[in-house]
Amino acid sequence: MSAQSAAPGVARASNFSLGGLLRRPEAGALLGLVAVFVFFTIFGGTGFLTPDSAAGWLNIAANLGMVAFPIGLLMIAGELDVSIGSMIPASSMTIAIVSGHYQQNIWLGVAAALGVGVLVGLVNGFLVVRTAVPSFIVTLGTLFATAGFVLGLSVLLTGSTSVVINSDGVAKQIFGSFIDQTFQVMIFWWLLATAIYIYFIHYSHYGNWIFAMGGDKESARNAGIPTRKLTIMLYVLSSTSAAFVGMCQALLFNVAQVSVGQSFIFNSIISVVVGGVLLTGGFGSIIGIFFGTITFAVVNQGIYFTSFDRNWSSLIIGILLLIAVLMNNTFRKMALTYAPKKK
């Protein structure tokens, strides 16, 4: 368990209690994950527990998770970013056009794809900080602007909305390959990212700043936290993470298309909320988002192993989201009203 809060502290030696676990932001996500696992093990039979099935949901979770972490941080800080939906195809198309269509060095393509991410992140960040327009509206604007720009430019440059990119060598190995033919290399990036985020958010002092910002931006600024800089950095992080996912997908599938990635917008928000992050900011945890993402991916893929029609999976996700929010509200109230018993 991470040492970030909850379990009894100052005077007591014991470090574990059921109550302490339930008061943590990730309590709901963990219970949800266990519930969907049990559900699909019962209804999906043995097929659900095979490595092939695990690869199915792990691949989904890894790609989604890379985006869900920074989206979760933005939500903890009280902001939102929906422009990631066009950032993924934008970076896919960038690397495909640079390294596929124009046959440039693959690393130039990688740099260009990530560079587009940094650029859009900076635009989002500056617009949110400077205009004080709600970030949902700002990023909705950049969502459409980026999508239009990518579509227009790729038709102009290549005459097509999908571009082939054939690559091999190191870049393909580390960004877009399958391990054992089924597991995307992205899974390792995702696990690495999880570890890094947990360190930064729950162990280093920067995490404190993000939580404070989401709790009360004015007080946080008065306490000396560079809220503007931090907001811009978070937007750059979310855009660049989305760009990373888009770039890896182009290398993995050897093709980039203009119209993929929109599903990431809502899927990442669902993962984050199921993971126990409070929509209005100030509360949440990385491990919760991690569980939330897996929960989403399991529901998304698990349905294939049951006898139910595929179309029911959205219903399950919808209900899951509502239950998760209600459950998380309950656990948060428990955390708020908690006081150690008098001895």
Partner 1 sequence: MTNATSAPVLELKNINKSFGPIDVLHDISLQLRAGEVLCLLGDNGAGKSTLIKILSGVHVPSSGSILMDGSPVSFATPRDASDRGIATVHQFGGTFPLMSIGRSFFVGAEPTKGWGPFRVFDRKKANEVAVKAVRDFGITRIEDGDRLVGGLSGGERQSLAIARAVHFGARVLILDEPTAALGVKQATHVLRIVNQAKKRGLAVIFITHQVMHAMAVGDHFAVLIRGSVAADFKKGERTREEITDLMAGGETMAGLEKEIEDYMSSHDGHPPPAGH
H helical segments located in the chain: 18-22, 27-44, 51-76, 84-95, 106-131, 135-158, 170-175, 186-198, 206-215, 217-222, 227-253, 263-274, 286-302, 313-337
- Cα 288 to Cα 69: distance, rounded to the nearest angstrom: 10
Least separation in angstroms between CB 278 and partner 1 = 7
Least separation in angstroms between CB 219 and partner 1 = 5
Neighbour count for residue 255 (Cβ, 10 Å): 15
Contact in structure between 235 and 125 (CB atoms under 8 Å): yes
Q: Decide whether 76 or 171 has the Cβ nearer to partner 1.
A: 76
Which residues lie below 8 Å from residue 96, measured CB to CB, with a gap of 6+?
A: 109, 163, 164, 165, 250, 255, 256
Which run of H or E residues covers position 279? none
- The binding site for partner 1 (CB under 8 A) comprises 3-11, 199, 203-205, 207-209, 211-212, 215-216, 218-225, 278, 282-283, 332, 335-340
Least separation in angstroms between CB 240 and partner 1 = 20
Helix (H/G/I), strand (E/B), else coil: 178: strand
Least separation in angstroms between CB 198 and partner 1 = 11
**CA-based nearest residue to 198, from 290, 282, 296:** 290
Q: Decide whether 203 or 266 has the Cβ nearer to partner 1.
A: 203
Q: Decide whether 10 or 156 has the Cβ nearer to partner 1.
A: 10
Contact in structure between 75 and 205 (CB atoms under 8 Å): no
Q: Decide whether 6 or 67 has the Cβ nearer to partner 1.
A: 6
Least separation in angstroms between CB 280 and partner 1 = 10
Q: Decide whether 18 or 156 has the Cβ nearer to partner 1.
A: 18
Least separation in angstroms between CB 205 and partner 1 = 3
Q: Decide whether 134 or 340 has the Cβ nearer to partner 1.
A: 340
Give the tokens for residue 68: 């869900």
